A and B are shown apart, each in its own frame.
Chain A
């Protein structure tokens, strides 16, 4: 397995591990987050590498990737759009927002899970409560958070995230 990692990335990994003096295994989630931020998804190589780094078996890492919804095994579009689906946002019109994002980007599929636009620019995903129910519907564009995202704001957001 030939993975070359940038020294800054390896430093981040080493620092994260120091936060868990009692058990290296605790660093599993932080390492998965760091890996996904760096490479976009969790590949087979990632699982093997992280497991080896933490003296674990690959299954100990794979079972986390399949359990925690934020980790993904496949590459996503350049921009990840998360729309809150849960009750308060639904009362505020998040199903319309979700449909509108899909229509505007050409992403197809009835699934609430991730669907990508044909040009690979956007991956749209219905997610559960994002904890900002008073400003429904809420949307995350990558790591950025937007409130009251109704249909009129969608074009503006897509323009901003090219």
Chain B
């Protein structure tokens, strides 16, 4: 049986009687952590975050303390900006929407603490355009926080001043990429910038040092301050600290969002115990574990994972998809990623070529068009997967598709190149017979039998 949920970020979300206004938030201890932080030295807050080993929840899993340490407020002469990335748009991910709609002040409080820690006086909250209601809720929350002197001039009498503004995107997935987001916030097309030299910590918004953090990461900062970095680091497993909000969708009986200590349950427990197993009495076929960009895993596949043996020494263990612990490092070790926490489950009636055609259409639509391999390649991957899915596959299509994908990854300015080619490469590698069967129509596979 799976370990019980540990709700840290989602503690109050969906709780009976909990509302998203500031009075309810304060009644539940809200803004106490801000009051505590603002008496601390900013560097002491940064130390706690470093000690917590908190990793970014947006997709890359980069250390938050490390990201913050790139900027030394004492040495920087330019203004420092902080941007909350609420451009949630990785297919399979739907956690930020819940936080924004149901507990916006938790995010605002986390954001103010993070701004104070990094000597930020002007911050933006970049929310995707398709969240018009979320933007209104956040605007109201900011006004409420301003009325209580948590935002604005001379915050809580300390002399610290901070403004936070909401900035709405307009339907482009690429704005979730931090340098694309910055360009967009500057009023331009969201073409990602090349790194180096344009690391946000050095040349970010308006060419000033900038921190870009995900919604869930900023919420976590509040809890790091609440319990202290060392206590936070005890949640989860070493190097995979804290909790993880998992968004499960697709062919399960109980799709939804669940929060667990990192590494406290396995993929099998998540799917079978927490989500009630595969719907319609079918069998598990495939899982995309961390948003649609993550490489697909096939049921029945065997993976090698280093785990602690009986004598405490690390040994290579052969495990199945169901045995994989849900944390950053385990997913990386089996060749995919924990990404954004969006788990998409597919049952044995699903045509993998069709699923890939759907994903490839997404990436063809969302490529910003700046780099040729991605602009041209994503479109070709859509065209080829579509003709394969619609009975017009050519003999050479599997090889052609792989060739296109292999020529995108690693050859683009931003990680979108990997994001669009990893699904193609992994679907082809894991389900070669389904792609081949499309080319040899007389061998058509009968699915779900």
Q: Which A residues lie at the B interface, using CB under 8 A?
A: 19-23, 25-30, 32-33, 54, 60, 63-64, 67-71, 82, 85-88, 90-92, 127-136, 140, 143-145
Closest-CB distance, B244 to chain A (whole angstroms): 16
B165 x A131 contact (CB < 8 A): no
Closest-CB distance, A130 to chain B (whole angstroms): 6
CB pairs A–B below 8 angstroms (9 shown): A19-B165, A25-B188, A64-B187, A88-B344, A90-B358, A128-B173, A134-B248, A136-B249, A143-B132
Out of A20, A30, A135, A143, name the residue touching B133 (CB < 8 Å).
Answer: A143
CB-CB under 8 A for A133 and B91, given A69-B172, A70-B170: yes
B90 x A129 contact (CB < 8 A): yes
Which of the candidate stretches B13-21, B220-228, B232-240, B250-258 sits at the interface with the other chain? B250-258
Closest-CB distance, A58 to chain B (whole angstroms): 14
Chain B residues with Cβ under 8 A from A134's Cβ?
Answer: 94, 247-249, 255-257
Nearest residue, chain B, Cβ from A16: B165
Q: Is B301 part of the contact surface with A, judged by Cβ < 8 Å?
A: no
Nearest residue, chain A, Cβ from B174: A67
B122 x A87 contact (CB < 8 A): no
A87 x B344 contact (CB < 8 A): yes
A33 x B168 contact (CB < 8 A): yes
Cα A71 to Cα B198 in complex, Å, equals 28
A129 x B89 contact (CB < 8 A): yes
Cα A87 to Cα B171 in complex, Å, equals 17
Over the window 191-202 of chain B, the binary record of Cβ atoms lying under 8 Å from chain A Cβ atoms (1 yes, 0 no) is 000000000000
Q: Is B366 part of the contact surface with A, judged by Cβ < 8 Å?
A: yes
Q: Is B385 part of the contact surface with A, judged by Cβ < 8 Å?
A: no
Chain A residues with Cβ under 8 A from B188's Cβ?
Answer: 25, 28, 60, 64
A86 x B358 contact (CB < 8 A): yes
Over the window 24-44 of chain B, the binary record of Cβ atoms lying under 8 Å from chain A Cβ atoms (1 yes, 0 no) is 000000000000000000000
Interchain pairs with CB closer than 8 A, number: 142
Closest-CB distance, B131 to chain A (whole angstroms): 8
Cα A145 to Cα B130 in complex, Å, equals 10
A69 x B96 contact (CB < 8 A): no
A91 x B132 contact (CB < 8 A): no
B365 x A29 contact (CB < 8 A): no
Nearest residue, chain B, Cβ from A64: B189
Query: How many B residues touch the partner, as a band?
Result: 35 or more
Chain B residues with Cβ under 8 A from A19's Cβ?
Answer: 165, 167
B206 x A22 contact (CB < 8 A): yes
Over the window 123-167 of chain B, the binary record of Cβ atoms lying under 8 Å from chain A Cβ atoms (1 yes, 0 no) is 000001111110000000000000000000000000000000101
A29 x B167 contact (CB < 8 A): yes
Chain A residues with Cβ under 8 A from B171's Cβ?
Answer: 68-70, 127
Nearest residue, chain A, Cβ from B345: A91
Closest-CB distance, B271 to chain A (whole angstroms): 14
Q: 8 other contacts beyond A25-B187, A129-B292, with CB at 8 A cut-off?
A: A28-B188, A29-B170, A64-B187, A70-B170, A128-B173, A133-B344, A134-B255, A135-B255
Cα A127 to Cα B172 in complex, Å, equals 11
Cα A33 to Cα B249 in complex, Å, equals 31
A68 x B170 contact (CB < 8 A): yes
Nearest residue, chain A, Cβ from B250: A91
B94 x A131 contact (CB < 8 A): yes
B170 x A71 contact (CB < 8 A): yes
Chain A residues with Cβ under 8 A from B248's Cβ?
Answer: 134
Nearest residue, chain A, Cβ from B126: A29
Out of B92, B131, B187, B251, name the residue touching A23 (CB < 8 Å).
Answer: B187
A85 x B189 contact (CB < 8 A): no
Closest-CB distance, B370 to chain A (whole angstroms): 11
Closest-CB distance, B212 to chain A (whole angstroms): 15
Closest-CB distance, A23 to chain B (whole angstroms): 6
Chain B residues with Cβ under 8 A from A54's Cβ?
Answer: 187
Chain B residues with Cβ under 8 A from A129's Cβ?
Answer: 89-92, 173, 292, 362
CB-CB under 8 A for A29 and B168, given A87-B358, A131-B88, A133-B93: yes
Chain B residues with Cβ under 8 A from A63's Cβ?
Answer: 189
Nearest residue, chain B, Cβ from A94: B358
Closest-CB distance, B55 to chain A (whole angstroms): 21
Q: Is B186 part of the contact surface with A, judged by Cβ < 8 Å?
A: yes
Closest 8 CB pairs of A and B: A68-B170, A133-B249, A25-B187, A28-B187, A69-B171, A70-B171, A88-B249, A134-B255
Over the window 288-318 of chain B, the binary record of Cβ atoms lying under 8 Å from chain A Cβ atoms (1 yes, 0 no) is 1000100000000000000000000000000
